[in-house]
Amino acid sequence: MHMGGLQIFVHNIAQRQAEYGHEVSIITHASPKNVNNYLYSIIKVTRPRGVKYLYKIYKYLSHKYIIHLQERYQFDIWQVNGGFPYGTMLADFFLAYKIPSVLRCSGDDIQVSDEFEYGVRRNNYINNLVINNYYKFNKLIAITKTVKKEYEKINISEDKIELIPNGIDYKRIKEFKSIFDIRRKHNIPHDAKIILSVGRQHPKKNYNIIPRIIKFLIDNNSNIYWIVIGDGVKSIIGDDIERNIKKHIILIDELNTNNQSSVEIPTDELVNYYKQADVFAMTSMLETFGIVLIEAMAAGLPVICFDAPGIVDVMSPECGFICPYGDIYTFQNKLLGLLFDDSDDFSRNSLHYSKSFSWDRISMMYLDVYSKIVGN
């Protein structure tokens, strides 16, 4: 199973809440093969197809099925992780049956950007469904202030919004021991500096600026290699890129998880890259949260990023540099400084700052929200 940010959130919150003694069930159309290793139960459902065209039929069927599940399991509270289609489909059901409910949006189900062709709400029909249904939940989780503002734009009252960030497995990343030498694997000289970026290829990731920045760094006598890890990233380098620049870019579409025995995200191999890089570079112009920032910080990396929505909410200026939105000149000069000036303070601050995002703390914040709705 492909494990994205949403799946990792659900797994970690469910696992920890089960550890605290709560009975937790996850209703999903995808689950890891080794689910028996975990303390929560999984209820498998079929992935809906063509939702936009068959929305009313799916809504009717989902209500019938949810009635069955509620009668069987007597859940005290439901949390829907994804505003469309599940949040819009189920809002009326929870309201009609007075079932406590929480909605957590975490991406294109709430954010909209025509510039980056991002967000399901660019479709007027879906946008109307969002506006007419999200507010019906007892509580809505905003993982950043950016998401909170988006909720407020669709007239969700402030008292319904709870600000709870995403989380990371802080202790595991901080204490991780290297499993292989990435310099040897990629023929990177020992005296070269390694820049790391992580995230799938998408226009909002702004990866197209990387060759230009590499040229600047090389022109300033910098021996650097820039590693980019994420689905589809090999497409960011075209035939027009100079050969001397290409050899300083390492693109990895997919990491090996064959030896991974459990659902641990980031994977061991990705943590291995975090732990051996020198700087983490976030080139994105739009994020909902930017979890890779916190993962990199937990590995002790100084960070450079833009003052972009969803990123500036998460990033601390004590952990690196926040550059003006889209200002490549400042970005490349600050990156040069991070690579070759003393950045030990930034690294120490990254470790300290990222600790507050541990899954244990985040899980307790969710339990507090549930208590507000259903009582102790």
In this structure, the chain runs to a length of 376
Mean pLDDT over 305-325 rounds to 96
**In the chain, what percentage of residues exceed pLDDT 90?**
81
> Cα angle vertex 222, ends 216, 224, to 5°?
95
Lowest mean pLDDT among 161-165, 258-262, 275-279: 258-262
Which homologous superfamily is 170-356 in? Glycogen Phosphorylase B; (3.40.50.2000)
Mean pLDDT over 122-133 rounds to 97
Residue 1 reports pLDDT greater than 50: no
Backbone angles phi, psi at 370, to 5 degrees: -60, -40
Residue 227 reports pLDDT greater than 70: yes
**Residue 184 to residue 210: CA distance in whole angstroms:** 23
Residue 252 reports pLDDT greater than 90: yes
CB 264 within 8 Å of CB 169: yes
Segments of the chain assigned to CATH 3.40.50.2000:
5-167+358-374, 170-356
Q: Tens digits of per-residue pLDDT, 158-212?
A: 999 999 999 999 999 999 999 999 999 999 999 999 999 999 999 999 999 999 9
Selected residue with higher pLDDT from 264 and 41? 41
pLDDT at site 9:
87
Band the pLDDT of 330: cuts 50, 70, 90. Answer: very high
Q: Tens digits of per-residue pLDDT, 51-93?
A: 888 999 999 999 999 999 999 999 999 999 999 999 999 999 9
Collapse the DSSP code of 215 into the 3-class scheme (helix H, G, I; strand E, B; otherwise coil) and give the result.
Answer: helix
Mean pLDDT over 306-330 rounds to 96
Mean pLDDT over 283-306 rounds to 95
Q: Tens digits of per-residue pLDDT, 7-33?
A: 788 888 999 999 999 999 999 887 655
Indicate the average pLDDT of the chain.
Answer: 92
Backbone angles phi, psi at 186, to 5 degrees: -110, 15
Residue 216 reports pLDDT greater than 60: yes
CB 276 within 8 Å of CB 194: yes
pLDDT at site 241:
79
Residue 138 reports pLDDT greater than 80: yes
**Residue 214 to residue 332: CA distance in whole angstroms:** 9
The one-letter code for the residue type at 220 is N
Alpha helices, DSSP H, located in the chain: 5-19, 55-73, 88-96, 124-133, 145-153, 170-175, 182-186, 210-219, 243-246, 268-276, 291-298, 328-340, 344-354, 359-374
Topology given in CATH for the domain delimited by 5-167+358-374: Rossmann fold (3.40.50)
pLDDT at site 47:
85
Selected residue with higher pLDDT from 294 and 236? 294
